[in-house]
């Protein structure tokens, strides 16, 4: 019924100071790149709450890109390191849920790196295209393995939180 | 209460309309997006007629929210916010979608461009309905200014402000102000003596009541924001008491230790262990070079102390710290010359008679190490032929792709000086000759008349390997003459390498200290490359001179003056508006877990022991939102970037992907 080729839908969180400016620069330089990343401007990559990412996946996104200033170049000094730590935890959780690593990407792009951002978008779009649609809801509903993974994750967390007597 | 949203799609001439179906997009928004009561397209939304369109609708249609699909918000957000404010709508109830930079300019396929445009508009429409009216805070502007770097750009900026009666702190890393211009002999194209036009300005700075000159000092730390920065400056120990020193110079005369001067004389000359970089240095106080002073190395000597008539020498002096309060900052930190040794085929450092342009400047300078005589490295022999190589380290994919802007004209100046001082032949090896400013082309014509020779082609190799008659004992410049269309070997006695201007080696660290960014090469990034080359993205931080990109003296002076004028305007106005994008904690919801307390690098979050909750000091908050994302109780709200606003934006962006929410299966 669906004759059109699969076009991945990716949500991109771009920090105001580096990556959004990189996107501006890619625009003024007329660099052509894949139109699949739909962007949200946030002040800092540190603003990206992991639940935003989950929300995007739950509502039909096939991938999420978080882009910020290079480590050591954050407009807010160190907040991109916090984004980096959150990203590691988020990826761990998503992996446990059975999601492919390529569907979530942390990309550093300075205000001067329009080409870097454009190349990263192109690469990610191709990777997600190869994986196919995420179909989060269907996969979760049909795949017993994922339910088990979630239960195991909850167990792991409970164990980790337990204070030894 | 439901909001009434107006959507405005800009054609931007053909910039957006050439790729995106703007008419269809507006119709689609009106039909499909909840809350939209008006959707229009217009040729140029940013024009006054476009803005009036919005204002009219706000008044007639009773719009409560506005979405503009146009260029990047970094370009025109202010324009449309102002248009809304003029029509009585709070400016923070306007949202932009970047249809130009993020869609029409970067997308090939028209259908996909339409789909992405719809998503961006749907995201903005979703978000804007949850936006809240905000008021920017008005803060006073401290009338004092910090200028970092005492080259010609920094000097000009400091004098402009001080002459207007505003106090300036001028911080210079070296013992004297003057910068690179103080090293030059003549300046193109008028051939003014560099020192003759610079030193009066330097002494103006030294004597000005409204300039506090902090030489041999560096900025350690910068805190605060536009209007009220707090700056900590480290004043390095000179080992000379400035209040006692008269600058008589007896200490320098009596110091028995000579060392090679690698900074001011670029290795061609010597100075003493206690020294002043050059005779007209400002301030006049000398500095003891700790590395080479016999007292610091061996514990004996103290000749300077013995002979000082005012007891100004103090071997125990320590670095001191000064805390300054300023409203604005100008960075004028200059450039580093390219290290010619990085290009091995040009043999700099291996063949003695290959010089850099800065070495040649010093050699031509009457106050320089050779007393202004143009001689080979042996210090006596006058060259009979000189080759000047352009674009050394610039316009070269292996080193720097950019043009250094000043070398062509400096090479012409060198040609003139050689012709004036010697009978040598001068040949310039250029790729393209660039003489684009006032009087420059005329200067080129003059040099053609003076007999300077020009060979068009990039030099491939400089060696002393003689192969042909007449090459023995010479430097052979191997070049493809692209006008003749053949390879040539041109023997000369001396080669001058016109080295590129490079960003300071520590530009990235300095940029971080002041909260501004650098280009890929390391030049500081201006707010807008054409319309605002003086300001930066960080309010209150301005740029002047070559730290922003290669430029000549007139351009550096203009930029210094322009930066000063911008600041003078802010001081005259007296106050500045600060974006109200800050975080607040709802004390009712805060559990007092203190997770947020250590997340803030600006120390804006404090824990109120008595109440058992955390609290954000809004004057210190910069609005990054990291604490908002971290709060497990969702007790922190980031104004203009709330969880609800961002979630609505996500849902809008995925307008075509969302599926009906299934009831969660019973557990």
Specify the range with the lowest mean pLDDT, choosing from A93-97, B379-383, B418-422.
Answer: A93-97
Among B12, B104, B627, B629, the residue to mutate for chain A (most A Cβ within 10 A): B629
Q: Which pLDDT does position B390 carry in this prediction?
A: 98
Q: What is the dihedral of CA A149, A155, A160, A161, to 10 degrees?
A: 130
A70, A18 Cβ separation under 8 angstroms? yes
Phi, psi (degrees; rounded to nearest 5) at A61: -70, 145
**A1 pLDDT exceeds 50?**
no
Determine whether the interchain pair A17/B112 forms a contact, defined as Cβ–Cβ distance below 8 Å. Answer: no
Determine whether the interchain pair B116/A76 forms a contact, defined as Cβ–Cβ distance below 8 Å. Answer: no
- Chain B: closest CA distance from residue A83 (Å): 8
| Beta strands B328-331 and B459-463, pairing class | unpaired
Phi, psi (degrees; rounded to nearest 5) at B237: -70, 125
Give chain A positions within 8 Å (CB) of B510: none
B312 to each of B230, B242, B251, how far by Cα in Å? 31, 7, 10
Q: Which pLDDT does position B362 carry in this prediction?
A: 97
**A22 pLDDT exceeds 90?**
yes
B365, B127, B383: which is closest to B269 by C-alpha?
B365
Residue B451 CB contacts under 8 Å (≥ 6 apart), including other chains: B419, B426
Q: What is the mean pLDDT of residues B520-524?
A: 89
ipTM summary value: 0.89
> For a pLDDT cut of 70, what percent of chain B falls above it?
99
Determine whether the interchain pair A35/B508 forms a contact, defined as Cβ–Cβ distance below 8 Å. Answer: no
Determine whether the interchain pair B115/A73 forms a contact, defined as Cβ–Cβ distance below 8 Å. Answer: no
Give the pLDDT band (50/70/90) at residue A165: very low
Choose the closest CB to B102 out of A27, A76, A112: A27
Determine whether the interchain pair A40/B653 forms a contact, defined as Cβ–Cβ distance below 8 Å. Answer: yes
B525-B529-B532 Cα angle (round to 5): 90
Among B527, B624, B630, the residue to mutate for chain A (most A Cβ within 10 A): B624
Give the pLDDT band (50/70/90) at residue A116: very high
Determine whether the interchain pair B116/A38 forms a contact, defined as Cβ–Cβ distance below 8 Å. Answer: yes
Rg (CA), chain B: 31
Choose the closest CB to A40 out of B105, B508, B646: B646
B295, B297, B301: which is closest to B315 by C-alpha?
B295
Determine whether the interchain pair A137/B659 forms a contact, defined as Cβ–Cβ distance below 8 Å. Answer: yes
Instruction: Say how far apart CA B50 and CA B47 lie, in whole Å.
Output: 5
Question: Counting one residue from A and one from B, how many pairs have CB atoms under 8 Å apart?
Answer: 157
Q: pLDDT tens for residues B498-507?
A: 999 999 999 9
Model confidence pTM above 0.90: no
Beta-bridge mates of residue B615: B606
CA B419 to chain centre: 37
Q: pLDDT tens for residues B99-143?
A: 999 999 999 999 999 999 999 999 999 999 999 999 998 999 999
Choose the closest CB to B654 out of A23, A41, A56: A56
Q: Which residue has the higher pLDDT, B119 or B660?
A: B119
**B140's tokens:** 């006073």
Give chain A positions within 8 Å (CB) of B643: 49, 51
Place of tokens 């569907």: A103
For all residues of chain B together, what is the average pLDDT? 95
Give chain B positions within 8 Å (CB) of A55: 647, 650
Among A16, A43, A55, A121, the residue to mutate for chain B (most B Cβ within 10 A): A43
**A136 pLDDT exceeds 90?**
no
Q: pLDDT tens for residues B576-589?
A: 988 899 999 999 99
Determine whether the interchain pair A47/B625 forms a contact, defined as Cβ–Cβ distance below 8 Å. Answer: yes
Omega before B247 cis (within 30°)?
A: no
**B298 pLDDT exceeds 80?**
yes
Q: What is the mean pLDDT of residues B548-563?
A: 97
Give chain B positions within 8 Å (CB) of A10: none
Determine whether the interchain pair B654/A46 forms a contact, defined as Cβ–Cβ distance below 8 Å. Answer: no
């Amino acid at each position: 019924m669906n004759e059109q080729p699969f076009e991945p839908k990716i949500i991109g969180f771009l920090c105001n100071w580096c990556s959004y400016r990189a996107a501006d620069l890619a625009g003024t330089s007329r660099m052509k790149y894949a139109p699949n990343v739909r962007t949200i401007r946030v002040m800092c990559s540190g603003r990206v709450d992991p639940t935003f990412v989950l929300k995007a996946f739950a509502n039909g996104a096939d991938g999420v890109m978080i882009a910020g200033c290079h480590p050591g170049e954050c407009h807010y000094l160190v907040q991109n390191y916090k984004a980096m730590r959150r990203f590691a935890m988020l990826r761990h959780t998503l992996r446990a849920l059975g999601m492919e690593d390529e569907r979530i990407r942390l990309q550093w792009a300075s205000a001067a790196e329009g080409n870097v951002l454009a190349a990263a978008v192109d690469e990610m779009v191709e990777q997600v295209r190869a994986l196919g649609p995420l179909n989060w809801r269907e996969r979760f509903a049909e795949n017993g393995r994922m339910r088990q993974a979630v239960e195991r994750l909850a167990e792991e967390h409970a164990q980790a939180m337990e204070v030894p007597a | 209460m439901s909001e009434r949203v107006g959507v405005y799609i800009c054609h931007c001439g053909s910039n957006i309309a050439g790729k995106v179906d703007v008419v269809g997009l507006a119709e689609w928004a009106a039909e499909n997006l909840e809350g939209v009561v008006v959707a229009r397209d217009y040729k140029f939304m940013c024009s006054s007629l476009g803005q009036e369109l919005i204002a009219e609708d706000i008044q007639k249609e009773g719009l409560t929210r506005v979405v503009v699909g146009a260029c990047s918000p970094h370009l025109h957000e202010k324009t449309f916010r102002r248009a809304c404010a003029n029509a009585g709508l709070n400016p923070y109830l306007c949202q932009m979608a970047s249809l130009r930079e993020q869609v029409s300019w970067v997308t090939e396929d028209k259908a996909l461009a339409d789909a992405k445009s719809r998503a961006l508009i749907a995201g903005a429409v979703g978000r804007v309905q949850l936006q809240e009216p905000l008021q920017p805070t008005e803060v006073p502007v401290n009338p004092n200014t910090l200028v970092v770097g005492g080259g010609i750009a920094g000097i000009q900026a400091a004098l402009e402000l001080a002459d207007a009666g505003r106090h300036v702190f001028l911080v210079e890393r070296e013992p004297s102000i003057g910068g690179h211009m103080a090293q030059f002999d003549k300046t193109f194209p008028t051939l003014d003596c560099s020192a003759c036009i610079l030193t009066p300005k330097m002494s103006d700075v030294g004597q000005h009541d409204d300039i506090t000159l902090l030489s041999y000092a560096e900025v350690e730390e910068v805190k605060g924001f536009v209007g009220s920065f707090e700056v900590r400056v480290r004043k390095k120990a000179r080992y000379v008491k400035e209040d006692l020193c008269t600058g008589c110079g007896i200490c320098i005369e009596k110091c028995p230790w000579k060392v090679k001067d690698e900074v001011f004389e670029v290795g061609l000359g010597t100075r003493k262990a206690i020294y002043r970089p050059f005779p007209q240095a400002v301030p006049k106080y000398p500095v003891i070079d700790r590395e080479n002073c016999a007292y610091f190395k061996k514990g004996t000597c103290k000749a300077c102390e013995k002979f000082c008539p005012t007891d100004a020498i103090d071997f125990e002096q320590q670095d001191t710290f000064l805390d300054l309060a300023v409203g604005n900052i100008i960075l004028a930190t200059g450039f580093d010359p390219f290290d010619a040794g990085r290009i091995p085929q040009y043999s700099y450092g291996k063949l003695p008679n290959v010089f850099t342009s800065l070495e040649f400047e010093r050699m031509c300078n009457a106050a320089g190490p050779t007393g202004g005589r143009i001689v080979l490295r042996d210090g006596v022999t006058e060259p009979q032929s000189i080759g000047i190589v352009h674009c050394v380290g610039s316009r070269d994919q292996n080193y720097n792709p950019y043009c250094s802007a000043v070398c062509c004209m400096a090479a012409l100046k060198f040609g003139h000086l050689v012709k004036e001082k010697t009978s040598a032949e001068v040949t310039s090896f250029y790729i393209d000759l660039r003489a684009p400013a006032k009087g420059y082309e005329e200067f080129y014509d003059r040099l053609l008349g003076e007999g300077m020779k020009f060979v068009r082609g990039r030099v491939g190799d400089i060696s002393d390997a003689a192969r042909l008659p007449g090459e023995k004992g010479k430097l052979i410049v191997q070049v493809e003459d692209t006008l003749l269309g053949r390879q040539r070997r041109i023997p000369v006695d001396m080669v001058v390498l016109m080295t590129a201007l490079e960003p300071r080696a520590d530009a990235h660290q300095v940029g971080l200290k002041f909260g501004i960014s650098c280009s890929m090469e390391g030049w500081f990034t201006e707010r807008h490359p054409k319309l605002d080359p003086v300001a930066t993205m960080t309010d209150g931080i301005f740029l002047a001179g070559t730290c922003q990109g290669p430029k000549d003296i007139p351009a550096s002076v203009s930029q210094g003056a322009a930066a000063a004028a911008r600041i003078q305007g802010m001081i005259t106005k007296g106050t500045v508006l600060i974006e109200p994008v800050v975080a607040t904690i709802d004390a009712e919801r805060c559990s007092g877990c203190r997770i947020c307390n250590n997340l803030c690098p600006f120390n804006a979050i404090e824990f109120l022991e008595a109440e058992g909750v955390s609290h954000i000091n809004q004057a210190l908050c910069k609005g990054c939102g990291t604490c908002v994302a971290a709060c497990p109780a969702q007790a922190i709200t980031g104004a203009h970037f709330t969880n609800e606003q961002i979630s609505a934006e996500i849902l809008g962006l995925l307008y075509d992907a969302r599926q009906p929410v299934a009831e969660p299966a019973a557990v």
